Structure 1
Amino acid sequence: MKLIIAEKPALAEAIKEAIGTDFQKKDSYYENKEYYISWCIGHLLEVMLPDENSKWSFDNLPLKHKGWNFQIKENTKKQYNIVKTLIDMSDTIIHAGDPDEEGQLIVDSILYKENIIDLKGNSKKTIKRLLVNDFNTKSIKKELSNLKDNNEYLNLSYMALARTLADKTFGYNLTRGYTLKNQEAGNNNVISIGRVQTPMLALIVRREQEIKNHVKSYYYTIKGSTAIAGSSLDFIYQTKAEEIDETKKITSEETANTIINRLNDNKSKAVVFKYETKEEIDTVPLPYNLLDLQVDCSKLYNMKADKVMSVTQDLREKHKAITYNRSDCNYLLDETYEQSPAIIACLQDINDEKLQNIVNNANIDIKSKAFNSSKTTAHTAIIPTETKLDFSAFSDDEKKVFLLIANRFVMQFLPPAKYLKHTITIKINDDYLINNHRQLLDAGWKGILSEKEEDETVSGNFDYSKIYEEKPVEKIDFISLKEETKPKKLYTTDSFLNDLKRVAVYCKNEKTKQFLKEKDKDKAGESGGIGTPATRSAIIKTLYDRGYIKDDKKNIVSTDLGKELISLLSDEITYPDMTALWHEDIKEINTNMSKLDDFINSITEFSSKEIDKITSSEAVFKSNAQKCPNCDTGYLVKRKGKDKSSYFWGCSTYPECKVSYQDNNGEPDVYLSVSCPVCEKGELLKFRGKYGAYWKCKNPECSKTFNDDKGKPDLTIREKAVPSEQYRCLECNSKLVRRNGKNGWFWGCSAYPKCKTIYQDNNGEPIYNKELAKKD
């Protein structure tokens, strides 16, 4: 028997349909005379580090990767055991994970754990590879007849495994280290740190810093207004290298005036240097990938990225309405073009005016550039399925998202907008000015959708036939426009998602910037991105959940905790360069698995140094630490007592401030907001004295002290103890003083601490032989 292990149930269903012979449905698999078909539910196994489940303690850090293993996930144990049983019953196994690194590892990890393969390519059974990136029946049949040897793709597992181990080694160690340090400051929240998560947070923090530190400056644009062939045209002066700064703008008013004067002095020599025309088209936007869909949902509906992920998951799994929703690709297989009429037919009954307008104008003979198998990745663009839908059963959010997807797909069969681009160049000695104008010839899809055209740049009906080279310019006037530089804007969800596609521009090092861009060279729409469309939304949600970022109207801003975290971490952690460097290291592992240990060991070493830095630092995360009630300068820090087994809380400015508090279940036992009952102005604070804890009024004019009563001040106001005129100490003959202690009243010697004799109290009198007491 042959066992096909698909990455997900929907793919298993599609493979079953493509094979076509009768299958029986079993418990989480299909069976016929030749095949078993079962599936994973994402990762059935997870990579585990040694001591990963150990107590969070500095003593257990850093966690190391030596001895890692694949462990069955509790929530997928049943499915794993079904797949394991089918493996035992099969001679040939067909790996049908997604054709990318993670998809390769999802199935390979099962075969590895069951000792069917090792990571060197040795196998105990025949292992084939089925490469499917579209659920199109025709495509799957084609690939089933063209199975590959799984060993050809085993290197993809190496890369996925290396990345997983690296992320765990880095993220687990630093998250635990900073969380433990945070707990020392009295905070129980987790301080999560990750290779992708932390640079994403840093983008938001640094954007706010840039805006705050923005210094207003000015630049100058030189324009020429002319009369050619009886009509007015505006031209832009083409700057020279020596006239601009690193921003490629004219920032010197003197330079701008020099240019204006030079142009005015020679404007009589102005001629048409060059006139060119070129036909251009604007094609329809490509179908959606997940990121583009999230951006548009944010712009149009203020829908967060994780919400879009959730909605598309329901559209795919509950309604069977769309293809794979986590796709990073905007392109479709050529075979999908042949399936398109059937898909469009399924959309004709959906009650939506805009969609039906597009459907009615669609021309199936048009094949947009989206249909290009060579540009698909492990997945294809998100499009509707060939399924009749009950649109009335969709929620409002599901309708909004589905209509975006459906509209964008059917638009692939609309004609392009056509233009004639006119470029006129004026020359004045060695100076050049240019006018560009696009003349609309056919509105195409823009006209069908009633999309607004760009503003015309030509006044009136301009006759281009009267333009020819070397024609003198009848009249030209020049103006210098002084414009103010504007600070960048705060991130919104859509602008942040767009920036994550091109995060390479924020690398500190030019070489690592190129590494990141190289990573995305075959990905349309990505240019040095960080994370994936499927993971970014989850990471952004984590940043919200951890309290690192928050919404400010429609903007995303960082919290005090988020800002402080970025300020505490080294640049290696907060810039995207690390992802670029890891990418290069993992590329080497792609061809040489033996380099995995060296790669992970370097990350362990880096993590260890960061943990050493954490443990040697004082009260971190002041943004959510408790201010010292005594000095209002320091923060309360958890410290070990003299016995090394108990804890207490002291001020971070010690020894300047010596206030201390007992530890109460991981928090300082601060009895706050208790006014002094004597002066009624000061606040009582707890101090640790030579003879135990006591409370003292913060008001320096009062400084009244009180005994400690189980962590709270004993607010009983007592009269000052007065030495007795009647009773004397039998040891030194000093007067006795009646006092109230922890165990009640007693009599002590007024010569204390020289004489420490005490007597029990009996109804206001010391217990001893009165006749022996010496009296005045």
Structure 2
Amino acid sequence: MRLFIAEKPSLGRAIADVLPRPHQKGEGFIRAANGDTVSWCIGHLLEQAEPDAYDPAYKQWRLEHLPILPQQWQLVPKPKTRKQLTVLRKLVREADQLVHAGDPDREGQLLVDEVIDYLGVKGAKRDAVQRCLISDLNPPAVRRALERLRPNREFVPLATSALARSRADWLYGINLTRAYTIQGRKVGYDGVLSVGRVQTPVLGLVVRRDRAIEDFVPKPFYEVLAHLLTEDGERFHAKWQPSEACRPFQDEDGRVLSRRLAENVVSRIDGQPATVLVVDRKRKRQAPPLPYNLSNLQIDAAKRYGLSAQATLDAAQSLYEKHKLITYPRSDSRHLPVEHHARAPRVLQAIGASTEAFVEALKVADPGRRSKAWNDSKVDAHHAIVPTEKKFDIARLSQSERQLYELIARQYLVQFMPDHEYYETRVEVEIAGGRFVARARQLIEPGWKALYGQKALKDDAEDAQQLLPALSVGQVLQCERGELVEKMTQPPKPFTDATLLAAMTGIARFVEDAEVRRILKDTDGLGTEATRAGIIELLFRRGFLERQGKSIRSSAAGRGLIDSLPQAATLPDMTATWESRLEAICQREAGYGDFMTQLLTALQALVEGARSSLPHSLAGVAAAPSSRRRRRRGSSAGKGAKRRPRRTSAAGADTQAG
């Protein structure tokens, strides 16, 4: 008997639907006519044991116990899903062949692998486990996936990376949360001070942004425009480009802060001749944006519809599992396999049948066009989020589901539309020894941008709203007058759902160390596609973040926590570097042992730092009600685990994870 172990019931049912009928439905499984059986996890069936499973003394939160470092890692069944684990235990014993059908990502790989390990599958049976990668729950796609099973051992690095992440989060969270909560009580803070490897640097981003806003002092700065006239009476303007000699009068962004300097330039150019030095006119093409991964979808949904990261994830999951209208949503890829291109006509037909929004665009879409989205070298376990071939009346969807489907459909449809084309012109002139530049952009072909409405085309025009006359190098113009433009520097904007997600995915921009920025060039990011929304929501639940309209701001407790921690724990540098190393494990470029050794060294130093100081910044700060309630229950970090756990060896993780 062949047993498929899916990550969740919806995926299990999708697999069963393509197996021979009639089906026998049992409690927690479906058996096909040929004997093949499908069962499933319900998310994680197992979880890391609590500290007191390693030593009963750890039930009490005490500084002298820290750091808690398990020598033999333990997993325990989750109480609410223990019954399904029993079902799987029986089926795994009966099965001749196991097929891992977890979601196509790191978490999905580990989730099923840890169940197979926990149930004691060994030897030839363990070596023969196959992997089924399903990213579309419609029957044709599931059949294709079942025809392309791969050896599960190919995915050992994926599971090992997820295992390292899971254990790192446990070690970091358990030890530092206990350390700072204990110290917080000494200054009167009545709540759990939750510290996390990812959540705390995210909180640090918001706290630092809020303080930059509060400390901001606006300053005037000055620009100079030269209003120019040709011999034929055509007018345009050019902007002064300060020379190197002006640098002492500029800020770090190159803005001129001296009004006197700008006034002097205005007086010097009034009525003076202007000589054209450069005329650079280029025809440019802009390819369509790539299809969505989860983070980009969340960012666009927040910008366009004000949806939170979690609301977007929930709606996308419903489109995938319930309606089967999109492919796997927790993807970090923005590319598609080349073989997927052959399905384009059917997917485009489904988009046209499902929504009226793209009727005109579909008339000009060319299914034979292949954008740079199709690239096998950038696709492994999962691909970009795209519509499926299923036709559906999207009027039956909820508002957020309909909004997301249209976003995803549009991003797919533009792959088959012409490039956006325009002329870009740059003119450089010299006036009284100073250099002035004018820019303009002229539309040739709207192409795919037409699908994003007039605003997208208008945004282009904002770079160069004027029309430039035909000019030639050496031509002499007249500067009719100089104009002094006074502006004020603006404070940074508060984070929103969209900008905070963008900061988490492009964290290298917030890293100060140049070497770390270099390392993170290709693998930057705080958290994963699947966890970023949950991290943001967790900070809200724990009272460290607050919403003010669309803005995300830090609370007094959030600021107090950041002020209490060593800077290394609040900056993205350390954990972003760890994310890079976890990705290196996936790519077989690094090992579990090295990663954990580096983590433990850093953890020891952080615990010692917590011992040696008190979080005085939290004195007098009220804890969020949810945080106080959690502490009085003992906190999940301090609850006892009364079940007998199975032990797994950290030293053997590289071989046991996959």
Q: Same fold, TM exceeding 0.5?
A: yes
Shift of 1:210: 0.8
Which residue of structure 1 aligns with residue 45 of structure 2?
A: 44
Shift of 1:477: 4.1
* Paired residue type of 1:437: A
Write the mapping of 1:541-556 to structure 2, written as runs, cut at 5 A: 541-556=537-552
**In structure 2, C-alpha distance between the alignment counterparts of 1:72 and 1:158, rounded to whole Å:** 20
**Residue deviations 1:568-602 (CA, integer Å, cap 9, x gap):** 11111111112133245546765434435523432
State the number of aligned residues: 610
* Paired residue type of 1:107: V
Q: Could you tell me which of 620, 623, 635 is aligned with 2:621?
A: 623
* Paired residue type of 2:319: L
Check conservation: 1:284, 1:445, Cα contact below 8 A.
yes
* Paired residue type of 2:494: L
Which residue of structure 2 aligns with residue 746 of structure 1?
A: none
Shift of 1:484: 1.6
Which residue of structure 2 aligns with residue 232 of structure 1?
A: 235
- Cα distance, 1:328–1:569 mapped onto 2, change above 3 Å: same
**In structure 1, C-alpha distance between the alignment counterparts of 2:258 and 2:139, rounded to whole Å:** 64
**In structure 1, C-alpha distance between the alignment counterparts of 2:243 and 2:132, rounded to whole Å:** 57
- The answer to whether 1:88 aligns with 2:93 is yes
Partner of 2:441, secondary structure, is strand
**In structure 1, C-alpha distance between the alignment counterparts of 2:536 and 2:255, rounded to whole Å:** 35
- The answer to whether 1:305 aligns with 2:304 is no
Which residue of structure 2 aligns with residue 287 of structure 1?
A: 291
Which residue of structure 2 aligns with residue 535 of structure 1?
A: 531
- Rg bigger for which structure? 1
Check conservation: 2:440, 2:466, Cα contact below 8 A.
no
**In structure 1, C-alpha distance between the alignment counterparts of 2:515 and 2:329, rounded to whole Å:** 34
- The answer to whether 1:346 aligns with 2:350 is yes
- Cα distance, 1:195–1:475 mapped onto 2, change above 3 Å: same
**In structure 2, C-alpha distance between the alignment counterparts of 1:87 and 1:208, rounded to whole Å:** 53
Which residue of structure 2 aligns with residue 747 of structure 1?
A: none
Check conservation: 2:20, 2:32, Cα contact below 8 A.
no
Write the mapping of 1:339-738 to structure 2, written as runs, cut at 5 A: 339-350=343-354, 353-359=356-362, 362-376=365-379, 378-427=381-430, 431-447=434-450, 450-452=453-455, 453-454=457-458, 455=461, 457=464, 464=470, 467-475=471-479, 477-519=481-523, 528-583=524-579, 586=582, 591-595=590-594, 598-613=597-612, 620-624=618-622
**In structure 1, C-alpha distance between the alignment counterparts of 2:623 and 2:187, rounded to whole Å:** 5
Which residue of structure 2 aligns with residue 68 of structure 1?
A: 73
**Residue deviations 1:30-64 (CA, integer Å, cap 9, x gap):** 54648544444443322336426842421544322
Check conservation: 2:99, 2:129, Cα contact below 8 A.
yes
* Paired residue type of 1:195: R
Partner of 1:68, secondary structure, is strand
**In structure 1, C-alpha distance between the alignment counterparts of 2:357 and 2:593, rounded to whole Å:** 57
Shift of 1:603: 4.4
**Residue deviations 1:652-694 (CA, integer Å, cap 9, x gap):** xxxxxxxxxxxx999xxxxxxxxxxxxxxxxxxxxxxxxxxxx
- Between stretches 52-61 and 531-540, larger displacement belongs to 52-61
- Cα distance, 1:475–1:105 mapped onto 2, change above 3 Å: same
Which residue of structure 2 aligns with residue 328 of structure 1?
A: 332
Check conservation: 2:504, 2:526, Cα contact below 8 A.
yes
Q: Could you tell me which of 252, 267, 273 is aligned with 2:277?
A: 273
* Paired residue type of 1:496: L
* Paired residue type of 2:622: N
**In structure 1, C-alpha distance between the alignment counterparts of 2:618 and 2:435, rounded to whole Å:** 58
- Cα distance, 1:157–1:188 mapped onto 2, change above 3 Å: same
- Cα distance, 1:145–1:446 mapped onto 2, change above 3 Å: closer
- Cα distance, 1:46–1:426 mapped onto 2, change above 3 Å: same
Check conservation: 2:563, 2:617, Cα contact below 8 A.
no
Check conservation: 1:316, 1:325, Cα contact below 8 A.
yes
Which residue of structure 1 aligns with residue 220 of structure 2?
A: 218
Check conservation: 2:561, 2:615, Cα contact below 8 A.
no
Shift of 1:360: 5.0
- Cα distance, 1:102–1:534 mapped onto 2, change above 3 Å: closer
Name the structure where strand makes up a greater proportion of residues.
1
Shift of 1:486: 1.0
Check conservation: 2:177, 2:195, Cα contact below 8 A.
yes
- Cα distance, 1:583–1:536 mapped onto 2, change above 3 Å: closer
**Residue deviations 1:139-176 (CA, integer Å, cap 9, x gap):** 77777666554444323322222221111111112222
**In structure 2, C-alpha distance between the alignment counterparts of 1:587 and 1:388, rounded to whole Å:** 37
Partner of 2:520, secondary structure, is helix
* Paired residue type of 2:94: M
**In structure 1, C-alpha distance between the alignment counterparts of 2:469 and 2:486, rounded to whole Å:** 32
Shift of 1:446: 4.0
**In structure 2, C-alpha distance between the alignment counterparts of 1:442 and 1:167, rounded to whole Å:** 50
**In structure 2, C-alpha distance between the alignment counterparts of 1:665 and 1:572, rounded to whole Å:** 30
Partner of 2:193, secondary structure, is coil
**In structure 2, C-alpha distance between the alignment counterparts of 1:360 and 1:300, rounded to whole Å:** 25
**Residue deviations 1:113-150 (CA, integer Å, cap 9, x gap):** 344459xxx98542444555566878777776665544
**In structure 1, C-alpha distance between the alignment counterparts of 2:592 and 2:205, rounded to whole Å:** 34
**In structure 1, C-alpha distance between the alignment counterparts of 2:444 and 2:522, rounded to whole Å:** 39
Check conservation: 1:46, 1:73, Cα contact below 8 A.
yes
Shift of 1:190: 2.6
Shift of 1:185: 5.7
Check conservation: 2:191, 2:623, Cα contact below 8 A.
no
* Paired residue type of 2:45: L
Check conservation: 1:366, 1:413, Cα contact below 8 A.
yes
**In structure 2, C-alpha distance between the alignment counterparts of 1:411 and 1:625, rounded to whole Å:** 49
Which residue of structure 2 aligns with residue 635 of structure 1?
A: none
Structure 1's unaligned 5+ residue stretches are 520-527, 627-663, 667-776
Write the mapping of 1:11-30 to structure 2, written as runs, cut at 5 A: 11-12=11-12, 24=23, 26-27=25-26, 28-30=29-31
Partner of 1:500, secondary structure, is helix
**In structure 2, C-alpha distance between the alignment counterparts of 1:200 and 1:163, rounded to whole Å:** 17
Shift of 1:338: 2.6
Structure 2's unaligned 5+ residue stretches are 625-631, 635-658
Name the structure where helix makes up a greater proportion of residues.
2
Check conservation: 1:93, 1:125, Cα contact below 8 A.
no
**In structure 2, C-alpha distance between the alignment counterparts of 1:142 and 1:559, rounded to whole Å:** 50
* Paired residue type of 2:429: I
Which residue of structure 1 aligns with residue 639 of structure 2?
A: none
Shift of 1:285: 3.9
**In structure 2, C-alpha distance between the alignment counterparts of 1:577 and 1:113, rounded to whole Å:** 35
- Cα distance, 1:10–1:423 mapped onto 2, change above 3 Å: farther
TM-score (norm 2): 0.81
**In structure 2, C-alpha distance between the alignment counterparts of 1:256 and 1:301, rounded to whole Å:** 42
- Cα distance, 1:597–1:551 mapped onto 2, change above 3 Å: closer
Check conservation: 1:98, 1:104, Cα contact below 8 A.
yes
**In structure 2, C-alpha distance between the alignment counterparts of 1:144 and 1:316, rounded to whole Å:** 18
**In structure 1, C-alpha distance between the alignment counterparts of 2:302 and 2:253, rounded to whole Å:** 31
Shift of 1:261: 6.4
Bigger relative CO (Cα 8 Å, ≥ 6 apart): 2
Shift of 1:434: 2.5
**Residue deviations 1:338-377 (CA, integer Å, cap 9, x gap):** 3233233334454x65344444554434444434443346
**Residue deviations 1:288-342 (CA, integer Å, cap 9, x gap):** 3333333333334333222222222223223223222223333333333332332
Check conservation: 2:557, 2:622, Cα contact below 8 A.
yes
Q: Could you tell me which of 105, 114, 129 is aligned with 1:109?
A: 114
